[in-house]
Amino acid sequence: MSARITCIALVLVLGGALLLALGNLATAEQSALHASPYVISLAGKYLCYAILALAVDLVWGFAGILSLGHAAFFALGGYAMGMYLMREIGARGVYGNPVLPDFMVFLNWKTLPWYWHGFNIPGFALLMVVLVPGVLALVFGYLAFRSRVTGVYLSIITQALTYALLLAFFRNDMGFGGNNGMTDFKDMFGLPLQLDRTRDVLMLASAVALSLCLLLARFVVHSRFGKVLIAVRDSESRTRFLGYRPENYKLVVFVLSAVMAGIGGALYVPQVGIINPSEFAPANSIEAVIWVAVGGRGTLVGAVLGAVLVNLGKTYFTGALPELWLFALGALFVLVTLFLPRGIMGLLPVRAEMPLPRAPAPAQAAASEAGPEGVAGADFGR
């Protein structure tokens, strides 16, 4: 059953992206079927958010890791891509320096910082898109999971992580453009970013990346590994007495998820044309969790659906009633939590990708002998 839902989602994502691209390229501007560049870039953005949502669902829905800092991995992937795009500008910048990006010339820097080397090579930059979020997740996860930090405490430190990165990237002397970040990109892999064709390709690439991430995530959660992961989510200490090492399972899925988020961020940056420290804002990570909750935690496809629908709403609201958006988002979250604990996917007459456990009575969860993570692990962290 859930296989059919995944197929439908793939058809919608890939078919929809293809139709939009055709609508942009093959129709006249006056045509009713014409998709404007604005629509294309919006669709591309939503697809990248959907990749982030998928990454969040993978750790939250299936391993019980409520990460409130996942946008950090998204932003790091974005920065890695931004660094490539900056180097790609070359001598076409305002100051005409063939090596140094404009903001460095502005700061009177004479040489390129060591960590900017190599980013002029596309392959290296793409490697960093994957490696930087992956390695950070590996180190962070290793320390957190090995010391058995779970539940609310884990959520808090993920939030602290993204906040620390926000502050760090704000600093000019970090060498990432400080407050303003990076922008004014010219082209990517030789294709001018201003061209409709390039934007269509990027949007299509995002759809393909999302589809591949969805298939990979599905493979992971349906494997025996995924079954262990769900066992860890529901009673971590029990899996330990069965001889599994929950910390290793969480680490693998956390790194995989961070890499996915990084890829989403890397596709996002050329489409929106800018990356700055605000992408690390804690609120961004929390929004991503809301997308997943709205779509349906632990359903994968629901995460994609939630990301697209909530962002459609956001686009509409921020255009029509900007001051109301945050209230609407808050209300949506409260309503979904109260009335749709399984999100929109819970309304469909099909089995979830991996059903969540029936919520135990709080006292029972806290008293559960097999769960020393008891209270901290209750409800949200589970």
Judged by beta carbon, residue 176 or residue 249, the one nearer other proteins is 249
Judged by beta carbon, residue 63 or residue 132, the one nearer other proteins is 63
Q: What angle do CA 192, 194, 198 make, to 5 degrees?
A: 60
**In whole angstroms, how close is the CB of 218 to other proteins at the nearest point?**
13
Query: Where are the extended beta strands (E) located within 241-342?
Result: 274-275
**In whole angstroms, how close is the CB of 172 to other proteins at the nearest point?**
41
> In terms of Cα–Cα distance, which of 116, 10, 41, 48 is closest to 263?
48
**In whole angstroms, how close is the CB of 140 to other proteins at the nearest point?**
18
- CB contact burial 325-337 (16+ within 10 A = b; e otherwise): beeebeebbeebe
Judged by beta carbon, residue 186 or residue 240, the one nearer other proteins is 240
How far is the C-alpha of 344 from the C-alpha of 293, rounded, in Å?
9
**In whole angstroms, how close is the CB of 64 to other proteins at the nearest point?**
12
- In eight-state DSSP terms, residue 347 is G
**How is the chain split among helix, strand and coil, in percent rounded to 5?**
75, 0, 25
How far is the C-alpha of 255 from the C-alpha of 141, rounded, in Å?
8
Judged by beta carbon, residue 34 or residue 238, the one nearer other proteins is 238
**In whole angstroms, how close is the CB of 151 to other proteins at the nearest point?**
18
Judged by beta carbon, residue 255 or residue 304, the one nearer other proteins is 255
**In whole angstroms, how close is the CB of 141 to other proteins at the nearest point?**
13
Judged by beta carbon, residue 151 or residue 246, the one nearer other proteins is 246
Judged by beta carbon, residue 46 or residue 254, the one nearer other proteins is 254
**In whole angstroms, how close is the CB of 366 to other proteins at the nearest point?**
12
- CB contact burial 353-366 (16+ within 10 A = b; e otherwise): bbebeeebeeeebe
Judged by beta carbon, residue 102 or residue 247, the one nearer other proteins is 247
Quick one: tokens of 113?
Answer: 């910082």
CA atoms within a 13 Å half-sphere pointing along the CA-CB vector of 358: 3
How far is the C-alpha of 307 from the C-alpha of 292, rounded, in Å?
7
**Which amino acid is located at 241 in the chain?**
F
How would you classify residue 10: left for phi > 0, otherwise alpha for psi between -120 and 50, otherwise beta?
alpha
**In whole angstroms, how close is the CB of 297 to other proteins at the nearest point?**
13
- Residues of this chain that interact with other proteins (CB under 8 A) are 220, 223-225, 227-228, 230-231, 234-235, 237-245, 248-249, 252, 354-358, 368-370
- In eight-state DSSP terms, residue 280 is G
